[in-house]
Amino acid sequence: MSPNAKTVVAADVVHLDSDDEDDVGGGGGGRGRGLSLIENPQIPSTSADATVAPLETLECRSFWKAGESFVTPNAVSQAAPGMLEHARVHPKFLHSNATSHKWAFGAIAELLDNAVDEIQNGATFVKIDKIDIVKNNSPALVFQDDGAGMDPNGIRKCMSLGYSSKKSNTTIGQYGNGFKTSTMRLGADAIVFSRSTRSGKATQSVGLLSYTFLRRTGQDDVIVPMIDIDISKGRPEPIIYGSSEDWSTNLDILLKWSPFSTKDELLQQFDGIGTHGTKVIIYNLWLNDEGIYELSFDDDDEDIRLRDESVHDGKRVHPKELERRSHISYRLRYSLRAYASLLYLEKFKNFKIILRGIPVKQFNIADEFRYPEIIKYRPQIATIEQATTEIKVGFIKEAPALAVCGFNVYHKNRLIRPFWKVTMDGSALGNGVVGVLEANFIEPAHDKQDFERSSLFQRLEARLKKIVYDYWTSHCHVFGYRTPQMPADKSKRTPIPDQPPTVNTFNPFPSHSQGSGPIIREISISNATSVRTVAAPPPHMRNSTGVRNNFQPVELNPQPAVTDTRNKLGGKSVEEISQENIQLFMKCEEYGKKETEMEQTVRNLQKELEEAKSKCAQLAMLVDAKKKEMQQV
The sign one gets for the Cα dihedral 31, 35, 40, 42 is negative
Q: What is the spatial distance between Cα 37 and Cα 363, in angstroms, rounded to a whole number?
A: 45
Q: Where are the domains of the chain?
A: 6-74+83-296, 305-359, 365-576
Find the mean pLDDT for residues 143-158: 94
Q: Are 136 and 54 in contact (CB under 8 A)?
A: yes
511 pLDDT higher than 50? no
pLDDT of 505 reads 35
pTM: 0.71
Q: Please give the radius of gyration of the chain, using alpha carbons only, rounded to the nearest integer.
A: 31
Buried b (16+ CB within 10 A) or exposed e, 272-293: ebeebbbbbbbbbbbbbeeeeb
**Which range scores top for mean pLDDT: 59-68, 382-391, 497-506?**
382-391
Q: Which of 213-217, 365-369, 563-567 has the lowest mean pLDDT?
A: 563-567
- Identify the CA nearest to 348 among candidates 359, 332, 336, 334: 359
Q: What is the spatial distance between Cα 320 and Cα 342, in angstroms, rounded to a whole number?
A: 24
Buried b (16+ CB within 10 A) or exposed e, 73-82: eeeeeeeeee
Q: What is the spatial distance between Cα 94 and Cα 294, in angstroms, rounded to a whole number?
A: 19
Distances from the Cα of 556 to the Cα of 392, 395, 489, 529, angstroms:
15, 16, 21, 10
**Distance of alpha carbon 277 from its chain centroid, rounded?**
22
125 in helix, strand or coil? strand
403 pLDDT higher than 90? no
Residue 144's pLDDT band (cuts 50, 70, 90)? very high
**Which range scores top for mean pLDDT: 55-69, 360-374, 603-617?**
360-374
Distances from the Cα of 114 to the Cα of 63, 361, 440, angstroms:
23, 19, 19
Q: What is the spatial distance between Cα 266 and Cα 274, in angstroms, rounded to a whole number?
A: 15
419 pLDDT higher than 90? yes
